[in-house]
A and B are shown apart, each in its own frame.
Chain A
Amino acid sequence: MTNMLKITNLHAIVEEKEILKGVNLEVKPGEVHAVMGPNGSGKSTLASVLAGNPKFEVTRGSILYKNNDLLEMEPEDRAREGIFLSFQYPVEIPGVSMVNFMRAAVNEQRKFRKEEPISAGDFLKLMRDKRELLGIDSNLVGRSVNEGFSGGEKKKNEIYQMAMLNPQLSILDETDSGLDIDALRVVAAGVNKLQTKDNATILITHYQRLLEYIKPDHVHVLYAGKIIKSGGPELALELEKRGYDWLINP
């Protein structure tokens, strides 16, 4: 099967500091990859670079997404092509209602596919269906984007947006951090329900905890800007038992 994503020798800097120092990663449709590693190893930078955050600059290497040069694409085009980043820290946007925000996002995607804007009725139905699928309290969508949301609500809202946009490649950046066990279940169940043989997921986490609910096909350890170890699900269990030290200082 062909790769959906192929990262080759990726180097990236933020504020003149090199964070990624030669990352290689391949992701095929249907796969779930977990990228683990201690704090400060570059996990979130990898997520940000994939989504196109202009704060990060790629200095070397390449990223192919569906055989196109991802680095040449604007963030909005990446999203329209099916990349979704669940933010570690979702941004509060006072005054922009969730409804208007989601409608704008859904319609941009439809415009990109040369489809008509969604009708008001279909849109409300889509919102309701996805809410029910994820078991999300309806009052989240009646508010301004993330404004005054608790940590758990923000993460659920990320998964809700993911369900609405139905991406091909989802990157979940520390979606499990700061969640209580109930919220974690909702988030994990959502990810599992949305996973199909045609889309792929990259879970970025430094806990094994989320992997009790979402089974990865591949586990990678990112450390000091490089992937230093890759393996199957058993690698996550070993990390849980032994920590990262045995890999970092062998």
Chain B
Amino acid sequence: MIEQQYIDLFEQFRSELDANSVEGINRHRDAAFGTFRQIGFPTSKQEDYKHSNIARAFDADLGLNLRNIPIPVNPYDAFKCDVPNLSTYTYFLINDRYYDEKGPEEALPEGVFAGSLQTFSEQYPEQFAAHYGKIADYADNGVVAYNTMFAQDGFVIYVPKNVTVEKPLQLINILRGGVDLSVNRRLLIIAEENAHVKLLVCDHAVDDVHFVVTQVTELFAGVSAQVDLYELEENSVKVTRLNNLFCVQKEKSEVVTSGITLHNGYTRNNYNFRLEGEHAEAHVGGLAICDKTQHIDNFAFLDHAVPNCNSNELFKTVLQDKATGVFCGKILVEKDAQKTLAYQTNRNLCASPDAQMFAKPQLEIYADDVKCSHGLTTGHLDDEALFYMRARGIDKEEAKLLLMVAFTRDVVDMVRIDSLQERLSMLIDKRFRGDLMRCGNCNVCK
């Protein structure tokens, strides 16, 4: 059994796990462990994981840095983000640990906390207890249970009532290690009533070892809160990234998220949204560009629990070489959720004959006065458009590239930070031209 080594490890090193974390986080381990023992990691025998055998990723000799042995790196030297004109409050996680040698130079608005999960649990025990482990449900998700068992630190943004953080925050996740590692990281985003915040999360693997990363993000959007969360993955082919976002939205809140994979190995994104206050709006986007034998699996579950909410999903995949893509979009409209508007779009481009895409929409509607739709297409590059461009003298490869970049356009348009939109357009263009290295501008792997 693949799980056994992790069960043994947990039992054997429980005291060290606790000693290197804090009570608020430790408190959740036992229940998660109980669930994990029962359900284990998902395998392709489960319908929702049919094309992604997650358990296999853990069938390896992975280390866990439970004692928080310091990894020698100064992220400011290792990584310089070169997003032009994107001025952000910048933070770092090295593997699962908050890097606190130096915070951003500019002070955040009063009352806003951004930093280590451990620190937050001590400084804001009430807010921590109200949300940590409360939004991420692991009853049927062994990866989230595993993460909750082993999580020791992570990153928090807390924005109190009526506070707007104008400048976006940027969290840079850096994966480092001398041996193959299992990294378990937590993110917590709390936007109280009428709070506004935008976060960009960038994922970079620096060392050439295997990483199996579980990330659990809990996002709470209070009444009339506005939260933007953009995730940009530029990992190496040796990274397995198991990303789980859980979002709860109160009345009139608005959440925009987009997960963009430019480089990866094996990625599974689970997006779970629960709209539980009326007139809440969720815009959920995703874009993946995969080649070689890379794998992307986007799974989205949108739960309309109350009337008058809107959700809009847009997922796009570009597959080259022998890459495989999976999309599953579930929309649940509960019995009383009248006047729901829920739209789901999934478009996939197989740019090579060996690329494979598996896509499945699932709508479960128990209310009778709703508007729900889904559109799903998987196709090749448009031959007519290619010829039209060639007939104007544009090189065949260049024409393909322009069409592929064009295909990604509307996901980029969802991003509500202009300078980030520009940056993404440039990165996507470079990505298709093969000019993008593993990390945008990383001094370590140069």
Q: Which positions in A face B, CB cutoff 8 Å?
A: 51-55, 74-76, 78-80, 84-85, 87, 90-96, 100-101, 104-105, 108-109, 112, 144-145, 161, 165
Contact = CB atoms under 8 A, between A and B. Distances in A.
Given A101-B402, A104-B398, A93 B389 contact: yes
B19 interface: no
Interface stretch (B151-159, B175-183, B291-299, B406-414): B406-414
Contacts of B408: 95
A101 B410 contact: no
A104 B402 contact: yes
A93 B403 contact: yes
Size class of the B contact interface (CB-based, 8 Å): 20 to 34
B241 to A, nearest CB: 27
Given A94-B406, A105-B392, A53 B387 contact: yes
Contacts of B394: 76, 101, 104-105, 108
27 contacts: A54-B383, A74-B396, A75-B390, A76-B390, A76-B391, A76-B395, A78-B391, A79-B390, A84-B391, A90-B388, A91-B382, A91-B385, A91-B387, A93-B388, A95-B406, A95-B408, A95-B409, A96-B403, A101-B394, A101-B402, A104-B402, A105-B389, A105-B393, A108-B394, A112-B393, A144-B406, A165-B392
A85 B391 contact: yes
Contacts of B382: 91, 93
Contacts of B391: 51-53, 75-76, 78-79, 84-85, 87
Contact of A108 (B385, B395, B403): B395
Contact of B392 (A53, A79, A92): A79
B209 interface: no
Contacts of A55: 383, 387
Given A95-B407, A144-B406, 9 more contacts: A52-B390, A76-B393, A76-B395, A79-B392, A84-B391, A93-B385, A104-B394, A105-B392, A108-B394
Contacts of B11: none
A35 B393 CA distance: 25
A108 B388 contact: no
A162 B166 CA distance: 47
A101 B392 contact: yes
B384 interface: yes
Interface in B53-68: none
B251 to A, nearest CB: 36
B405 interface: yes
Contacts of B387: 53-55, 75, 91
Contacts, number: 80
B275 to A, nearest CB: 30
Given A91-B384, A108-B395, A74 B407 contact: no
A95 B385 contact: no
Nearest to B409: A95
A238 B60 CA distance: 84
A76 B409 CA distance: 25
Contacts of A161: 392
B436 to A, nearest CB: 19
Contacts of B384: 91
A104 B398 CA distance: 9
A94 B349 CA distance: 14
Interface in B388-438: 388-396, 398, 402-403, 405-410
B393 A80 contact: yes
Contacts of A79: 390-393
A130 to B, nearest CB: 14
B428 to A, nearest CB: 11
A95 B410 CA distance: 8
Nearest to B395: A76
A80 to B, nearest CB: 5
Contacts of A96: 402-403, 405-406
A74 B390 contact: yes
Given A90-B388, A93-B388, A100-B402, A76 B396 contact: yes
A247 B406 CA distance: 49
Question: What are the nearest 10 A-B pairs in CB distance?
Answer: A95-B406, A79-B393, A95-B409, A91-B388, A105-B392, A75-B390, A108-B393, A96-B406, A76-B390, A80-B393
A90 B410 CA distance: 23
Find the residue from B391, B393, B394, B396 having the highest chain A CB count within 10 A: B393
Contacts of B407: 95
A96 B410 CA distance: 11
B424 to A, nearest CB: 14
B406 A93 contact: yes
A93 B382 CA distance: 9
A10 to B, nearest CB: 19
Contact of A95 (B388, B393, B405): B405
Contacts of A94: 406, 409
A74 B395 CA distance: 9
